[in-house]
Structure formats: structure tokens, C-alpha cells
Amino acid sequence: MNQPMPQEHPKDESVTYVINHNVQPHRREDFEEWMSGIAADVERFHGHQGTTVLRPDSGSTEYVIVVRFATYGDLRRWERSPERADWLVKLPPLVSDESVYTIETGLETWFQLPGHQVVVPPPKYKMAMLVTLAIYPLLLIVIPTLGALLGDFPYLAAPMTVGPEFFTRTLANVLVLVPLMTWFAMPQLTKLFRRWLYPTR
């Protein structure tokens, strides 16, 4: 019931741990008790930043549990802990098939709804479409503005003419666009398109 975790992670950044359990219909009450117990234990672990439980809709048996950790190292310590191992021993009789464990990092953090500490990320194609919608108008505004501020540097030049000015302009664009995307554009667009990103099942 325990899917092996990756042995390495590219960055020691915050991670969202998503677990899908298909619960035996006649063991739902027992699973709720199990879930409350393991949630209480994980809350005491260093780096735990919140747990969200998405309960099954009518006719479904799937629980989605979303746990946020400050770093991948914090997640690994929980994954290797004896407390977690003890709870996993009690899980098999409560579920109908193998549980699925996934880790989400990076881009998915742009798609947190305001007021929600953790959420299950939307489909990748929706994330790509919304990022495109966010970054295109920002580029139309930022590039001309920085061009005026930095002077008449060649930006869209042929490859053979790329020089220090090109890298200076590109770095300036990045330093402006990333904060705008992270703290302004993506939170606003995620809120605006929340029904499309997270349709009610």
C-alpha cells in the first residue's frame, strides 16, 4: 500500500504530498478514525504546513488527502518515520485497492486558491493555458517599459549579435516578471478561473 518515494529531489523547496485512497464502503467510519489519527501525528512533525481532506462525492469512494511540507527533507522524515509506518500497517483492510502517492512542487504552487492552504493541482493543460494567459500581457507591458528604462539595447536581435545587452535585458525581464506572476497575476487569475480549474464534480 506504500508507493516508494523518490530518493532525490532537485530542490529543498516546499512540497505538496497528495494521497488517493479508495475506501471500502462498509469501512468508511473506520477510515475516518484512521485518518484523524494519522493526521494528528503528522501535525506534530517539523515542517508540516497543513492538511486538507477532500471527501468522496455521492457515489464515489475516493478520499484525497493533501499534506503540505516546508521542504522535501521534512516530507522524507515523515515518510521514513515509525509513526507513519504504524499507521500504514492498519490501512490495507480499509481500502479496496492500492493507494496512490504523488508529490507536487514548483508550478503547482501558483494555483493555490486564496484562503486555501493546499489544494490538488488542476490538470497540466489548464495550468499551461492560464500561465500563457498571464505571461503574454505582462510581456507586452514589461518589455517595452524596460526598453525605455534601459535604453536602446538590441533585444530581439539575431543570434550572432547577442551580447551583454541581451543578457542584461533578459535578466531584467525575469526579475520583474517572476514576482508579478507569483504575487499578482497568478493569484488573481486562479481566483477568477477557479470554477474552470476546479470544476464541481
Would 2 be classed as within a structural domain? no
Q: Both 185 and 154 in a single domain?
A: yes
Q: Both 64 and 29 in a single domain?
A: yes
In the chain, alpha helices (H): 28-43, 72-79, 82-89, 124-150, 164-180, 186-192, 194-197
The three grid cell numbers given for residue 195, joined into one nine-digit string: 470554477
pTM of the model: 0.52
Would 157 be classed as within a structural domain? yes
Per-residue pLDDT of the chain (201 residues; tens, 9 = 90+): 344 444 444 455 678 888 999 999 999 999 999 999 999 999 999 989 888 888 887 788 999 888 888 888 899 999 999 999 999 999 999 999 999 888 876 555 555 544 444 445 566 677 677 777 777 777 777 777 766 766 654 444 444 455 677 677 777 777 777 777 767 777 777 777 777 766 654
What pLDDT does residue 87 have?
A: 96
Q: Domain boundary residue among 111, 144, 166?
A: 111
What pLDDT does residue 121 have?
A: 59
Contact in structure between 189 and 114 (CB atoms under 8 Å):
no
Q: List all residues 6 or more positions away from 175 whose beta carbon is below 8 Å from its beta carbon.
A: none
Q: Both 58 and 92 in a single domain?
A: yes
Q: Both 90 and 140 in a single domain?
A: no
Number of structural domains (the chain) is 2
Backbone angles phi, psi at 36, to 5 degrees: -65, -40
What pLDDT does residue 96 have?
A: 93
Would 117 be classed as within a structural domain? no
Q: Domain boundary residue among 111, 139, 172?
A: 111
Secondary structure (3-state) at 101: strand
3-state helix, strand, coil in the chain (%, to 5): 55, 15, 30
Domain range holding 189?
A: 124-197
Q: Domain boundary residue among 85, 111, 137?
A: 111
Would 6 be classed as within a structural domain? no
Q: Both 101 and 131 in a single domain?
A: no
Would 31 be classed as within a structural domain? yes
